[in-house]
Amino acid sequence: MASTESNNQEQQEQGSDDGTEQKELKELGFLLDVPLEVSVELGRSKVLIKDLLQMREGSVVELDKMAGEPLEVYVNSRLIARGEAVVVDDKVGLRLTDVVSPSERLEKLK
């Protein structure tokens, strides 16, 4: 009997969480269609203009990341996550392995 009461209480709590979540989504609904620029950074490099002018098809640009290091995901130029490259149906994708917490993101705004 106690188990049934516990399950009912959990369902009621989940229901109130779902209600709160739906209310928050409704309040933010006008923002849901705002486009954001999402970019994934493979790495960076600095090159001299003379080296840039000598680049041809097949040239290799050495990046600052090591093979196997996580790629960085930016939304509107703000780091929000890290992940690894994957192939899905002949397209390149990204599996998120670490999402930057909202508190960390807010800290970087200061």
pTM: 0.62
Confidence of residue 2 (pLDDT cuts 50, 70, 90): very low
Superfamily of domain covering 35-110: SpoA-like (2.30.330.10)
Encode pLDDT of 4-44 as tens digits.
444 444 444 444 556 777 777 677 788 888 999 999 998 99
Q: How far is CA 105 from CA 37, 81, 97, in A?
A: 17, 10, 17
- Are the C-beta atoms of 100 and 80 separated by less than 8 Å? yes
What are the sequence ranges of the domains in the chain?
Answer: 1-34, 35-110
